């Protein structure tokens, strides 16, 4: 349990406040981070502190909307910080009012451990390499003491281990060997797990399995060019380049973007990474709200091997390491192609110095195939309209030690928002003995390499504002008409319909996916009724990759990620309800009313026609296979938020078609086509000698 001790300490600093940010939701600038750090340092002068988090404390929904829409005052610019004080258990957190250079709300939170930063992770490898007990275990595994520089580790949080609870700040070191520094370590795991104290920099214990598995003598399984070229050479592959001769169709003012009819704010923090806020759609002059805020608020990757200490592998990567802290600097022409706009991310290091991740967020457009098309069969398809789609993509990629998570927030011209996540990188691996049976909990993906079954489950947090305030959430199932075949109501037995079940209470909202009823979920505004359909304006969550958490109820992963037990969890809005596994996730036991378990409570909160927060769980269950190794081809996960009864017709009819020919036009032109002004003139036939037999109506000029 978090124990809070309020410290009555307020401070002012003498320096000038940094320049005011463009927008209340902008991430902290370098100057703002410096100002916050100097105020905190001044408050703790003479004490040995290290910085863990310095981030924007966002204004509440109400104060933001009052400023944005009702001429209210601009919300104060606040920063939230977390620091560690040497020799003191727990963390100290507080808030700095940046405009007034004023520190307030200082708390000493005990019985918790803070997020692991990249600096914390990096320190662990040099600690284990020097430790005599680790050196001895390496020797027993087949790595001589003079090869300790070839020993690597992926430092994971310890999950939760009853032996230490959260009394010390711990990491478990997943051990590997690289014969050469350019080799992939994941084909050469070691079988023991040192436990390292992040603060004292010592190895406090080594978990050693009862069955020993020596280091593999196989060659490394590598994927960098020198090895691949040696083995196979590269395929013949012609480049595909993207040209946007007239530039982009989006405009940016600081972090506010306007694209097609969408407008919204792009934020970023150490934890959730990309945060999209104030998302609106300009419906022919009426700027209609859709979502107040949207982010990936948590994830869990629970592994399924019940032996040894593998149960501890259930990374809550967002709360334990931070999708922001682990984000990659992106590179032009590789991570994103075309005409790109990047935003940088700024954090504070342990010392408090600001650090910048260049090109952390990529903003660009991509061709998205066909948006809509229709041709008339009566005149041999001469009457035809085809409109190509473009999508706007806001993306980031973060590395969670072995895995990469590529996050794409796609905005579509029909008002939909599609979240795509591509999973790539490298499987977490464990060593297998010769002839060892790795099933049913794992797969041998390379000789002596056991890749354990695991799930990747994400919690999408949506703070909805569908056509304004006062929203409800419903399950939407398609069901067969209950009336019997031959009955008066359903004489031919073909009847079926969509059934909505609006959640009145939190308990009712805790629902699973149901493929049999094509279940989706509607977020709707009962106060905004579509004049044609008579149905409330809504956005439908269409999400079909929705496995259940496979760890048993009351298991440690299940207790630490209570949100993962259901595909849908809806709670009442409160500005502090951000992180469903709690604020301080590392080494949390999952006991008590932490995070969403506390917000759900006894489930009786009323959630109809009010401000709600939706936590949607989605992801995949991953049974590894050799094709996933040594580097996994990206596996896609996708979900769609679609307007339903929100507009009075296809909202994308105002996109210029690539080709349009009416019936009368086709007659007049006597077969001549009318190529519209935005036809892509760089498209051409692949094999010109076969072109005659391959003429389509759009591009062929006879
Ligand atoms: N996948 C667990 C993890 C994430 C980040 C850093 C280390 C380990
Ligand atoms: Cu996986």
What's the burial of 702, exposed, middle or buried (CB within 10 Å: 0-12/13-18/19+)?
exposed
Could you say which ligand is closest to the alpha carbon of residue 403? Answer: 1
pLDDT tens-digit map of 19-39: 999 999 999 999 999 999 999
Name the residue of 156, 158, 425 to mutate for ligand 1: max ligand atoms within 8 A of Cβ. Answer: 156
Q: Which two tokens stand for residue 408?
A: 């794409």
Nearest atom within ligand 1 for CA of residue 315: 2
Q: What is the CATH number of the domain that holds 532?
A: 2.70.98.20
Could you tell me if 167 and 312 lie in one domain? Answer: no
DSSP SS3 for 598: helix
Q: How far is the CA of 412 from the centre of ligand 2 (A)?
A: 28
Task: Evaluate the omega torsion of the peptide bond into residue 79 and state whether it is cis, within 30 degrees of 0.
Answer: no
325 within ligand 1 shell (Cβ under 6 A) = no
Calpha distance 661→382 (Å, rounded): 7
Q: How far is the CA of 617 from the centre of ligand 1 (A)?
A: 20
Q: How far is the CA of 455 from the centre of ligand 2 (A)?
A: 6
Task: Evaluate the omega torsion of the peptide bond into residue 440 and state whether it is cis, within 30 degrees of 0.
Answer: yes
Residue 330 lies in a domain: yes
262 within ligand 1 shell (Cβ under 6 A) = no
Q: How far is the CA of 402 from the centre of ligand 1 (A)?
A: 7
Name the residue of 159, 299, 317 to mutate for ligand 1: max ligand atoms within 8 A of Cβ. Answer: 317
The closest of 627, 154, 617, 227 to 424, measured between CA atoms, is: 627
Q: Which two tokens stand for residue 272?
A: 């959730």
Q: How far is the CA of 399 from the centre of ligand 1 (A)?
A: 8
Q: How far is the CA of 489 from the centre of ligand 1 (A)?
A: 58
600 within ligand 1 shell (Cβ under 6 A) = no
Q: Which two tokens stand for residue 17?
A: 């406040």
Calpha distance 49→1 (Å, rounded): 23
Q: How far is the CA of 352 from the centre of ligand 1 (A)?
A: 23
Could you tell me if 135 and 20 lie in one domain? Answer: no
For residues 156 and 171, the answer to whether their CB atoms sit within 8 Å is: yes
Counting every residue written for the chain, the total comes to 702
pLDDT tens-digit map of 272-304: 999 999 999 999 999 999 999 999 999 999 999
Residue 21 lies in a domain: yes
Nearest atom within ligand 1 for CA of residue 155: 7
Name the residue of 119, 121, 398 to mutate for ligand 1: max ligand atoms within 8 A of Cβ. Answer: 121
Q: Which two tokens stand for residue 641?
A: 């938020």
315 within ligand 1 shell (Cβ under 6 A) = yes
Residue 672 lies in a domain: no
Residue 245 lies in a domain: no
**Which residues lie below 8 Å from residue 123, measured CB to CB, with a gap of 6+?**
198, 201
* Residue numbers of the domain that contains 593: 251-426+454-622+631-644
Positions annotated as catalytic residues are: 317, 403
Whose alpha carbon is nearest atom 4 of ligand 1? Answer: 400
Calpha distance 354→27 (Å, rounded): 13
Could you tell me if 365 and 504 lie in one domain? Answer: yes
Q: Which two tokens stand for residue 90?
A: 């727990």
The closest of 345, 318, 298, 292 to 575, measured between CA atoms, is: 292
Q: Is the dihedral of CA 405, 406, 411, 412 positive or negative?
A: negative
Q: Which residues surround ligand 2, an ion (CB under 5 A)?
A: 622
Given this model, what pLDDT does residue 699 score?
Answer: 46
190 within ligand 1 shell (Cβ under 6 A) = no
**Which residues lie below 8 Å from residue 209, measured CB to CB, with a gap of 6+?**
191, 192, 307, 308
Calpha distance 49→47 (Å, rounded): 6
156 within ligand 1 shell (Cβ under 6 A) = yes
Could you tell me if 381 and 269 lie in one domain? Answer: yes
Calpha distance 71→85 (Å, rounded): 42
Q: Bridge-partner residues for 357, per DSSP?
A: 345
Whose alpha carbon is nearest atom 1 of ligand 1? Answer: 400
Name the residue of 175, 301, 401 to mutate for ligand 1: max ligand atoms within 8 A of Cβ. Answer: 401
Whose alpha carbon is nearest atom 8 of ligand 1? Answer: 156
Q: Bridge-partner residues for 484, per DSSP?
A: none
Calpha distance 637→618 (Å, rounded): 9
Residue 299: CA count within 13 A, CB half-sphere = 25
121 within ligand 1 shell (Cβ under 6 A) = yes
Nearest atom within ligand 1 for CA of residue 174: 8
Calpha distance 262→249 (Å, rounded): 12
320 within ligand 1 shell (Cβ under 6 A) = no
Q: Which two tokens stand for residue 79?
A: 């920063």
Given this model, what pLDDT does residue 688 score?
Answer: 77
Calpha distance 538→61 (Å, rounded): 20
Residue 651 lies in a domain: no
Could you tell me if 18 and 147 lie in one domain? Answer: no
Total domains, the chain: 3
Please tell me the pTM assigned to this model.
0.96
Could you tell me if 474 and 561 lie in one domain? Answer: yes
Could you tell me if 477 and 355 lie in one domain? Answer: yes
Could you say which ligand is closest to the alpha carbon of residue 173? Answer: 1
Phi then psi for residue 608, to 5 deg, are: -95, 135
Nearest atom within ligand 1 for CA of residue 301: 1
Given this model, what pLDDT does residue 682 score?
Answer: 83
For residues 53 and 82, the answer to whether their CB atoms sit within 8 Å is: yes
What's the burial of 477, exposed, middle or buried (CB within 10 Å: 0-12/13-18/19+)?
middle
pLDDT tens-digit map of 136-175: 999 999 999 999 999 999 999 999 999 999 999 999 999 9
Buried residues in 299-320 as b, exposed as e (16+ CB within 10 A): bbbbbbbeebbbbbbbbbbbbb
Calpha distance 370→384 (Å, rounded): 13
Could you tell me if 509 and 406 lie in one domain? Answer: yes
Residue 88 lies in a domain: yes
Residue 290 lies in a domain: yes
Given this model, what pLDDT does residue 507 score?
Answer: 98
Could you tell me if 175 and 125 lie in one domain? Answer: yes
174 within ligand 1 shell (Cβ under 6 A) = no
Domain boundary at 613, 644, 675, which?
644
303 within ligand 1 shell (Cβ under 6 A) = no
**Which residues lie below 8 Å from residue 439, measured CB to CB, with a gap of 6+?**
none
Q: How far is CA 254 from the centre of its chain?
A: 23
321 within ligand 1 shell (Cβ under 6 A) = yes
401 within ligand 1 shell (Cβ under 6 A) = yes
Given this model, what pLDDT does residue 683 score?
Answer: 84
For residues 560 and 535, the answer to whether their CB atoms sit within 8 Å is: no
Phi then psi for residue 377, to 5 deg, are: -65, -20
Domain boundary at 78, 109, 140, which?
109
Could you tell me if 213 and 340 lie in one domain? Answer: no
DSSP SS3 for 380: coil
Q: How far is the CA of 427 from the centre of ligand 2 (A)?
A: 6
Q: What is the CATH number of the domain that holds 73?
A: 3.10.450.40
Could you tell me if 185 and 67 lie in one domain? Answer: no
Residues of the chain with pLDDT under 50: 1-13, 691-697, 699-702
**Which residues lie below 8 Å from residue 9, measured CB to CB, with a gap of 6+?**
43, 103, 106
Buried residues in 2-32 as b, exposed as e (16+ CB within 10 A): beeeeeeeebebeeebbeebebbbbbbbebb
Could you tell me if 94 and 132 lie in one domain? Answer: no
Q: How far is the CA of 630 from the centre of ligand 2 (A)?
A: 13
Given this model, what pLDDT does residue 681 score?
Answer: 76
Phi then psi for residue 149, to 5 deg, are: -70, -10
Nearest atom within ligand 1 for CA of residue 399: 5
The closest of 200, 197, 133, 135 to 171, measured between CA atoms, is: 197
């Amino acid at each position: 349990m978090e124990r809070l001790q309020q410290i009555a300490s307020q401070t002012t600093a003498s320096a000038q406040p940094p320049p005011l940010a463009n927008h209340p939701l902008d991430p902290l600038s370098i100057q703002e981070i410096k100002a916050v750090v100097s105020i905190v340092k001044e408050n703790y002068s003479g004490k040995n502190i290290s910085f863990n988090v310095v981030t924007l404390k966002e204004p509440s929904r109400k104060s933001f909307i009052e400023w944005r829409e009702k001429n209210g005052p601009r919300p104060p610019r606040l920063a939230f910080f977390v620091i560690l004080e040497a020799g003191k258990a727990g963390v100290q957190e507080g808030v700095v009012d940046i405009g007034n250079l004023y520190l307030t709300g200082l708390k000493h939170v005990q019985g918790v451990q803070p997020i692991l930063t990249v600096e914390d992770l990096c320190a662990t490898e040099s600690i284990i390499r020097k430790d005599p007990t680790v050196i001895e275990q390496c020797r027993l595994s087949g790595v001589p003491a003079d090869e300790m520089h070839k020993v690597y580790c992926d430092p994971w949080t310890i999950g939760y281990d009853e032996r230490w609870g959260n009394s010390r700040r711990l990491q478990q070191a997943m051990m590997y060997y690289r014969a050469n520094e350019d080799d992939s370590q994941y084909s050469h795991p070691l079988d023991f797990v040192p436990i390292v104290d992040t603060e004292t920099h010592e190895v406090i214990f080594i978990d050693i399995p009862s069955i020993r598995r020596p280091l593999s003598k196989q060659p490394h399984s590598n994927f960098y060019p020198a090895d691949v070229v040696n083995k196979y050479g590269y395929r013949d592959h012609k480049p595909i380049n993207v040209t946007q001769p007239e530039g982009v169709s989006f405009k940016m003012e600081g972090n506010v973007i306007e694209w097609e009819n969408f407008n919204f704010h792009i934020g970023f923090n150490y934890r959730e990474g990309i945060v999209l806020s104030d998302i609106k759609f300009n419906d022919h002059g009426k700027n209609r709200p859709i979502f107040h805020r949207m982010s990936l608020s948590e994830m869990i990757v629970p592994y399924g091997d019940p032996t040894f200490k593998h149960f501890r592998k259930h990374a809550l990567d967002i709360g334990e390491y931070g999708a922001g802290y682990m984000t990659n600097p992106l590179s032009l022409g590789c991570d994103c192609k075309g005409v790109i706009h990047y935003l940088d991310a700024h954090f504070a290091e342990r010392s408090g110095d600001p650090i910048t991740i260049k090109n952390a967020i990529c903003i660009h457009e991509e061709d998205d195939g066909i948006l809509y098309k229709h041709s008339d069969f009566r005149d041999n398809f001469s009457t035809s309209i085809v409109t190509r789609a473009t999508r706007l993509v806001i993306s980031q990629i973060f590395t969670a030690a072995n895995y990469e998570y590529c996050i794409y927030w796609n905005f579509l011209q029909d008002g939909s928002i599609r979240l795509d996540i591509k999973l790539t990188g490298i499987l977490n691996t464990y060593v297998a003995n010769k002839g060892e049976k790795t099933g049913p909990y794992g797969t041998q993906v390379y000789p002596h390499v056991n890749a354990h079954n695991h799930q990747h489950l994400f919690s999408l947090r949506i703070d909805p504002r569908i056509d304004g305030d006062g929203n409800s959430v419903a399950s939407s199932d398609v069901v067969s008409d209950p009336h019997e075949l031959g009955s008066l109501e359903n004489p031919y037995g073909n009847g079926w319909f969509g059934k909505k079940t609006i959640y009145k209470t939190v308990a009712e909202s805790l629902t699973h996916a149901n493929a049999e009823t094509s279940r989706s979920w509607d977020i709707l505004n009962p106060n905004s009724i579509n004049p044609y359909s008579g149905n409330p304006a809504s956005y439908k969550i269409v999400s079909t990759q929705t496995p259940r958490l496979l760890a048993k109820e009351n298991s440690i992963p299940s207790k630490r990620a209570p949100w993962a037990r259901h595909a849908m969890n809806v709670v009442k809005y409160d500005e502090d309800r951000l992180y469903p596994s709690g604020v301080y996730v590392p080494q949390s036991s999952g006991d008590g009313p932490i995070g969403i378990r506390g917000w759900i409570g006894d489930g009786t909160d009323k959630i109809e026609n009010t401000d709600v927060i939706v936590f949607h769980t989605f992801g995949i269950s991953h049974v590894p296979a050799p094709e996933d190794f040594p580097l996994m081809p990206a596996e896609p996960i996708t979900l769609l938020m679609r307007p339903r009864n929100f507009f009075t017709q296809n909202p994308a009819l105002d996109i210029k078609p690539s080709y349009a020919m009416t019936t009368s036009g086709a007659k007049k032109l006597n077969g001549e086509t009318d190529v519209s002004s935005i036809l892509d003139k760089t498209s051409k036939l692949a094999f010109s000698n076969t072109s005659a037999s391959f003429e389509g109506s759009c591009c062929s000029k006879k």
